[in-house]
């Protein structure tokens, strides 16, 4: 416990130093941040003694001596020199925000294709504009209810910028909005705190790509990235959310996704965890309006000593809502996966249709899977089910392929690829799909051209 | 169905709720090292047994009551307000059942367990435990002919100390958990079964537990050992009178199966569950665990949990021997204000070990019913397999059904499958059955029994019939 306390002290010191920078935030945000820091100091980092961290030891983060970015000018200068051409998706060429170590980079960003009343800008900028009142209403609203979480508080305390997306009533974007969070950890052990606020007003529609990546990956030191994404989907709005996590292999990635879904609206998300040595993702879904629908899919493809933990909570608060969750894990080498999925059906949520599955493919004897799907149901007229499997490649399928002359190793890789592909193929942005396919095939040392 | 009718049915008497008026030899309330010594002395135990108790008691003092990790809500338990030993007064030694107090015989007869030689259940040997002591064991001599030892735990300590000493506390250590430690310190009686090498028990063995004293708790201890190639089917049943105060039942059950042995353990638990407001009832905090020590050994747990105000129970299997098999079949029914957090643990250690879990939870009224289970495949459990199915049924919108499975896999050749679903009795199903002339009650009973079929199939026949009736009774008036 002692180390953890010291660490909270380090963050407090960084917080003070950060305040010496001339703040671009109004006083209420400064208050919010101050309260969040106090909250963080009060609860400290969680330990494995807590049920939610039973399989996940975050001591390396608590003791990691990570430093939040203080020098914004230097960061901005370095960012300007960065070459991100390989990270740009064709579909989102003119609708992209890029952040480097908590600092918004106007040079790397482009919002020229964002049309009409739709707002895609830096939170620190938007807070002074016409939407200030709205931001005040929504920002960190969920933190009040999940205030016990140290990582959320820490992010809010160090919120210096962020992505703000507003889809006014009846608006729709054809091109996806790409939010790219880069970490430059070549100089020191950086702690970075990406923040996203998406507000989708009634009848709006958009696709959001949230991506996390290291800049100059080969030279990166170990770093710690802890994001908070808040998404408010109003009545009859439709949001598709892709999260692509390709942090450096020595990075610690902690993420919170919180979505509030209104009446007859849809929120569909796909999370792809390929990077980071350590990943912890909390998903908190609230189906708040009757007839809303949600797909929550995910894939972790682990190799080396990678560790990924997904904790999801699907809250059915209103009747006639549907949620379908499908998470898959492929574990090679000494990779470890933790899944904890909780479906909570409130008493009012009659006619709920909730399904959850967690399927894992273990390719190595050193790999490990801990999974815990949970159902908590307080309404009687519901259709809820969940399933979890941990297993190997089906021998019959393998036999079938080899009987057709496919070499056993290739057959194995094809079947593994197929298993992972079921998640990837749902992504409707071609160039992301292509890129992910490439990474996965690479990990299997296979090409499809052969 | 009219409201009046529903109330009438829902308030149906718990038919085992009577109190037997019998003089009892009870020690004063409270718990201290002296209490432990007194219990040991009353039972005339050897020194090593007392040491076992004291070690457990001293460890228990250092432990904290497990608080709130389970999905249960109950008041603090005052251990100084419990009578830890209560025995019906009777003659010193019993030569035969004829000398058992007729009041006791009548009590068990009323419970459907005749102990008289003439009326005994055919082919089922019964050990009847009343409060803290075993009052009678039937068919003892016949079983001994086959080499099977079936007696009360106290008798086993006296007659077969070597066997007890060798196995007691080896599956559930005295420091295992709070209530197991408490039990190890103050247990009063229970059953002991020993099936020697190569013997199939010629009849079903059974223990019937009855709590009578309003202030006592029941702390029994059961130990079953099946040597190489042995087989036994054991069943237990339990009831208690209706009292307004909560009573504590903290039992420990240890099963040991050696090479090729098989133990089938069935429970029909019908402790008093408290009234519809949740007043009174038994706190059922039980540690049950089986060690499949030998190759190809098999342990099968079947439970029908319908009683108790609070149930906290996870019959488990430690699958040590290669190719050993663990099974868990459970029906847990909660009504009114009952709460149950029950399930199993399957710990796969040996190669090619297999486990099957089938759990059916039914919640009605304002009750809270949870399945909590662990399936663990250790790195050495190559080729291990598990299949888990947990189904819940909700009756009414005031109750809850929860599933908390933990699955931990640490090798690349084992497979674990878990499936869970939640459903309810649909209007269509009821309508269909009723238009065929079935009453609503019968229709509900039929659907529930269908839902539980996979578990009932595993029960010995007489008990399966009993269990079906029990569920019907418990749920009467819940649907309407």
Check residue B18 and give its pLDDT.
Answer: 73
Q: Determine, yes or no, domain membership for B46.
A: yes
Please check whether residue A394 touches B, CB under 8 A.
no
Whether B400 and A362 lie within 8 Å, measured CB to CB: no
What's the pLDDT tens digit per position in A9-33? 678 888 888 777 666 778 888 888 8
Whether B406 and A370 lie within 8 Å, measured CB to CB: yes
Check residue A239 and give its pLDDT.
Answer: 97
Q: Determine, yes or no, domain membership for B443.
A: no
Same domain, A345 and A436: no
Same domain, A322 and A413: no
Whether A347 and B403 lie within 8 Å, measured CB to CB: no
pLDDT over 80 at A440, yes or no: yes
Domain count, chain B: 1
Report the alpha-carbon distance of residue A186 to residue A245 in Å, rounded: 19
Provide, as residue numbers in chain A, all residues whose Cβ is less than 8 Å from the Cβ of B407. Answer: 369-372, 388, 390
Q: Determine, yes or no, domain membership for B31.
A: yes
In the block, residue with structure tokens 């919120």: A159
Chain A residue at shortest CA distance from B372: A374
Whether B402 and A383 lie within 8 Å, measured CB to CB: no
| Residue B267 parent element (H or E) | strand B262-269
Q: What residues does B431 pair with on adjacent strands?
A: none
Complex ipTM tops 0.95? no
List Cβ neighbours of A40 (8 Å cut-off, separation of 6 or more). Answer: A8, A11, A150, A153, A154, A157
Check residue A353 and give its pLDDT.
Answer: 94
Same domain, A352 and A397: no
List Cβ neighbours of A135 (8 Å cut-off, separation of 6 or more). Answer: A123, A126, A127, A164, A197
Q: Which of A378, A389, A384, A247 is nearest to A327 (CA)?
A: A389
Report the alpha-carbon distance of residue B403 to residue B370 in Å, rounded: 6
Radius of gyration of chain A (CA): 21
Same domain, A328 and A360: yes
Which backbone phi and psi does A315 adopt, to 5 degrees? -100, 110
- Res. A338 pLDDT band, cuts 50 70 90: very high
List Cβ neighbours of A255 (8 Å cut-off, separation of 6 or more). Answer: A212, A226, A227, A228, A229, A243, A245, A279, A280, A281, A282
CB burial of A241-268 (b: ≥16 within 10 Å; e: otherwise) equals bbbbbbbbbbbbbbbbbbbbbbbbbbbb
| Residues A340, A376 contacting (CB under 8 angstroms) | no
Same domain, A378 and A409: no
Q: Determine, yes or no, domain membership for B437.
A: no
Nearest to B422 among A364, A377, A388 (CB): A377
Q: Determine, yes or no, domain membership for B116.
A: yes
Chain B residue at shortest CA distance from A331: B412
Nearest to B401 among A350, A377, A391 (CB): A377
Whether A370 and B409 lie within 8 Å, measured CB to CB: yes
pLDDT over 80 at A3, yes or no: no
Same domain, A364 and A430: no
Suggest the residue from B384, B412, B428, B478 to mutate for an interface test with chain A (most A CBs closer than 10 A): B412
DSSP string spanning B36-51? HHHHHHHTT--HHHHH
In the block, residue with structure tokens 């009114």: B336
Higher pLDDT, A54 or A261: A261
Q: How far is A365 from chain B (nearest CA, A)?
A: 4
Suggest the residue from B339, B380, B408, B479 to mutate for an interface test with chain A (most A CBs closer than 10 A): B408
Same domain, A355 and A409: no
The range of the structural domain enclosing residue A398 comes to 393-450
Q: Determine, yes or no, domain membership for B328.
A: no
Pull the structure tokens for residue B304.
């029908």
Domain count, chain A: 2
Which of A392, A410, A438 terminates a domain? The answer is A392
Nearest to B394 among A370, A380, A390 (CB): A380
| Residues B351, B322 contacting (CB under 8 angstroms) | yes
Nearest to A362 among B400, B409, B422 (CB): B409
Q: Which of B379, B449, B372, B432 is nearest to B409 (CA)?
A: B379
Same domain, A355 and A223: yes
Report the alpha-carbon distance of residue A120 to residue A94 in Å, rounded: 11
Provide, as residue numbers in chain A, all residues whose Cβ is less than 8 Å from the Cβ of B402. Answer: 374-377
Check residue B119 and give its pLDDT.
Answer: 58
Same domain, A292 and A431: no
Q: Which of B132, B294, B277 is nearest to B219 (CA)?
A: B132
Chain-centroid distance of CA B51 in Å reads 27
Whether B415 and A376 lie within 8 Å, measured CB to CB: no
C-alpha pair distances (Å), B78 with each of A111, A230, B284, B346:
67, 47, 15, 33
Check residue A2 and give its pLDDT.
Answer: 38
Same domain, A83 and A143: yes
| Residues B71, B341 contacting (CB under 8 angstroms) | yes
The range of the structural domain enclosing residue B155 comes to 15-313
What's the pLDDT tens digit per position in B14-52? 767 777 777 777 788 888 999 999 999 888 899 999 999
Chain A residue at shortest CA distance from B401: A377
Report the alpha-carbon distance of residue B10 to residue A270 in Å, rounded: 48
Pull the structure tokens for residue A71.
């020098």
Q: pLDDT > 90: what percent of chain A?
A: 68
Q: How far is A332 from chain B (nearest CA, A)?
A: 10
Q: Which of A359, A290, A295, A369 is nearest to A325 (CA)?
A: A295
Please check whether residue A377 touches B, CB under 8 A.
yes
Same domain, A244 and A372: yes
Q: How far is B377 from chain A (nearest CA, A)?
A: 10
Report the alpha-carbon distance of residue B6 to residue A116 in Å, rounded: 62
List Cβ neighbours of B260 (8 Å cut-off, separation of 6 or more). Answer: B228, B229, B294, B295, B296, B297
How confident is the model over A110-116, as a mean pLDDT? 90
Q: Determine, yes or no, domain membership for B357.
A: no
Chain A residue at shortest CA distance from B479: A380
List Cβ neighbours of B265 (8 Å cut-off, separation of 6 or more). Answer: B224, B234, B235, B236, B253, B255, B288, B290, B299, B300, B301, B302, B315
Whether A372 and B405 lie within 8 Å, measured CB to CB: yes
Suggest the residue from A354, A380, A394 to mutate for an interface test with chain B (most B CBs closer than 10 A): A380
From the CB of residue A127, how many other CB atoms can be counted at a distance below 10 Å?
A: 21
Chain-centroid distance of CA B236 in Å reads 7
Nearest to A384 among B398, B407, B422 (CB): B422
Check residue A9 and give its pLDDT.
Answer: 61
Nearest to B412 among A363, A381, A386 (CB): A363
Q: Determine, yes or no, domain membership for B373.
A: no
List Cβ neighbours of B118 (8 Å cut-off, separation of 6 or more). Answer: none
Same domain, A231 and A376: yes
Q: Which of A318, A325, A320 is nearest to A294 (CA)?
A: A325
Whether A374 and B403 lie within 8 Å, measured CB to CB: yes
Check residue B479 and give its pLDDT.
Answer: 55
Q: How far is B286 from chain A (nearest CA, A)?
A: 22
Suggest the residue from B346, B348, B361, B401 to mutate for an interface test with chain A (most A CBs closer than 10 A): B401
How confident is the model over A414-433, as a mean pLDDT? 94
Q: Determine, yes or no, domain membership for A65.
A: no
What's the pLDDT tens digit per position in B383-393? 999 999 999 99
Provide, as residue numbers in chain B, all residues whose Cβ is less than 8 Å from the Cβ of A50. Answer: none
Residues of chain B short of pLDDT 50, as ranges, are 1-11, 91-93, 480
Suggest the residue from A369, A375, A382, A393 to mutate for an interface test with chain B (most B CBs closer than 10 A): A375
Q: Determine, yes or no, domain membership for A37.
A: no
Q: Determine, yes or no, domain membership for A3.
A: no
pTM for this entry = 0.85
Provide, as residue numbers in chain B, all residues whose Cβ is less than 8 Å from the Cβ of A379. Answer: 394, 397
Chain A residue at shortest CA distance from B364: A380
What's the pLDDT tens digit per position in A134-163? 999 999 886 555 545 789 999 999 988 899
């Amino acid at each position: 416990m002692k180390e953890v306390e010291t660490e909270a002290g380090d963050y407090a010191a960084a917080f003070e130093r950060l305040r010496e920078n001339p703040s671009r935030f109004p006083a209420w945000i400064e208050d919010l941040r101050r309260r969040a820091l106090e909250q963080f100091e009060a609860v400290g980092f969680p330990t494995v003694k807590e049920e939610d961290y039973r399989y996940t030891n975050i001591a390396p983060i608590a003791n990691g001596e990570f430093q939040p970015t203080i020098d914004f000018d230097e960061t901005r200068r370095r960012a300007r020199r960065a070459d991100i051409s390989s990270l740009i998706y064709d579909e989102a060429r003119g609708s992209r925000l890029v952040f480097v170590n908590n600092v918004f980079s106007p040079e790397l960003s482009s919002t020229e294709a964002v049309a009409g009343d739709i707002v895609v800008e830096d939170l620190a900028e938007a807070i002074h504009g016409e939407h200030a009142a709205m931001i005040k209403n929504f920002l960190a609203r969920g933190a009040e209810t999940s205030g016990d979480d140290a990582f959320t508080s820490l992010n809010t305390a160090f919120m210096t910028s962020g992505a703000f997306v507003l889809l006014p009533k009846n608006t729709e974007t054809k091109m996806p909005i790409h939010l790219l969070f880069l970490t430059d950890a070549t100089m020191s052990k950086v702690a970075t705190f990406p923040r996203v606020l998406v507000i989708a007003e009634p009848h709006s529609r958009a696709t959001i790509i949230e991506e996390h990546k290291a800049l100059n990956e080969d030279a990166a030191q170990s770093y710690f990235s802890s994001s908070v994404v808040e998404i408010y989907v109003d009545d009859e709005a439709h949001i598709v959310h892709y999260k692509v996590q390709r942090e450096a292999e020595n990075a610690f990635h902690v993420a919170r996704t919180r979505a509030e879904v209104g009446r007859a609206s849809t929120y569909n998300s796909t999370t792809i965890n390929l990077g980071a040595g350590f990943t912890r993702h909390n998903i908190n879904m609230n189906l708040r309006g009757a007839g809303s629908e949600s797909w929550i899919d995910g894939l972790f493809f682990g190799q080396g000593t990678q560790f990924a933990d997904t904790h999801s909570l699907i809250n059915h608060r209103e009747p006639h809502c549907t949620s379908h969750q499908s998470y898959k894990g492929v574990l090679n080498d000494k990779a470890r996966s933790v899944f904890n999925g909780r479906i909570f059906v409130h008493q009012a949520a009659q006619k709920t249709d909730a399904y959850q599955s967690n399927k894992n493919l273990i390719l190595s004897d050193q790999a490990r899977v801990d999974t815990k799907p949970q159902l908590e149901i307080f309404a009687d007229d519901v259709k809820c089910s969940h399933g979890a499997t941990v297993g190997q490649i089906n021998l019959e399928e393998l036999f079938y392929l080899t009987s057709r002359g496919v070499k056993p190793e290739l057959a194995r890789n094809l079947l593994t690829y197929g298993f992972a592909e079921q998640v990837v193929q749902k992504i409707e942005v071609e160039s992301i799909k292509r890129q992910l396919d490439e990474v996965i095939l690479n990990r299997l040392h296979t090409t499809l051209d052969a | 169905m009219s409201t009046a009718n529903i109330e009438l049915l829902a308030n149906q008497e718990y038919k085992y709720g009577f109190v037997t008026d019998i003089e009892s030899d009870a020690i004063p309330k409270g718990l201290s090292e002296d209490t432990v010594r007194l219990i040991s002395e009353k039972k005339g135990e050897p020194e090593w047994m007392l040491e076992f108790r004291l070690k457990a008691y001293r460890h228990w003092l250092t432990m904290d009551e497990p608080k709130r990790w389970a999905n249960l809500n109950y008041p603090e338990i005052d251990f100084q307000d419990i009578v830890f030993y209560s025995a019906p007064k009777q003659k010193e030694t019993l030569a035969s059942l004829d000398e058992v107090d007729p009041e006791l015989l009548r009590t068990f007869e009323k419970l459907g367990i005749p102990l008289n030689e003439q009326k005994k259940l055919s082919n089922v040997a019964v050990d009847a435990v009343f409060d803290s002591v075993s009052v009678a064991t039937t068919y003892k001599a016949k079983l001994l002919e086959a080499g099977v030892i079936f007696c009360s735990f106290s008798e086993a300590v006296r007659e077969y100390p070597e066997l007890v000493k060798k196995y007691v506390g080896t599956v559930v250590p005295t420091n295992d958990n709070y209530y197991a430690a408490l039990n190890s310190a103050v247990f009063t009686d229970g059953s002991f079964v020993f099936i020697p090498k190569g013997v199939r028990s010629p009849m079903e063995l059974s223990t019937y537990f009855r709590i009578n004293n309003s202030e006592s708790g029941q702390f029994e201890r059961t130990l079953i050992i099946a040597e190489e190639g042995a087989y036994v089917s054991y069943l237990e049943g339990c009831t208690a009178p209706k009292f307004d105060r909560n009573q504590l039942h903290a039992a420990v059950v240890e099963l040991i199966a050696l090479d090729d042995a098989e133990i089938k353990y069935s429970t029909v638990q019908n402790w008093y569950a408290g009234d519809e407001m949740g007043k009174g009832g038994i706190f059922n905090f039980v540690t049950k665990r089986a060690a499949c020590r030998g190759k190809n050994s098999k342990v099968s747990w079947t439970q029908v949990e319908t009683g108790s105000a609070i149930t906290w129970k996870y019959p488990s299997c430690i699958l040590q021997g290669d190719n050993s098999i663990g099974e868990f079949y459970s029906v847990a029914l909660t009504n009114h204000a009952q709460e149950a957090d029950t399930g199993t643990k399957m710990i796969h250690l040996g190669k090619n070990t297999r486990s099957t879990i089938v759990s059916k939870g039914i919640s009605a009224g304002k009750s809270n019913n949870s399945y909590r289970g662990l399936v663990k495949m250790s790195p050495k459990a190559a080729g291990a397999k598990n299949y888990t199915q947990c189904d819940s049924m909700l009756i009414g919108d005031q109750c809850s059904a929860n599933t908390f499975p933990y699955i931990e896999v640490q090798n690349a050749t084992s497979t674990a499958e878990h499936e869970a679903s939640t459903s309810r009795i649909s209007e269509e199903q009821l309508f269909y059955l009723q238009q065929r002339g079935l009453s609503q009650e019968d229709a509900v009973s039929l659907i529930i029994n269908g839902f539980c079929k996979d578990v009932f199939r595993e029960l010995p026949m007489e008990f399966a019939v009993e269990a079906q009736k029990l569920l019907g009774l418990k749920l009467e008036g819940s649907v309407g």
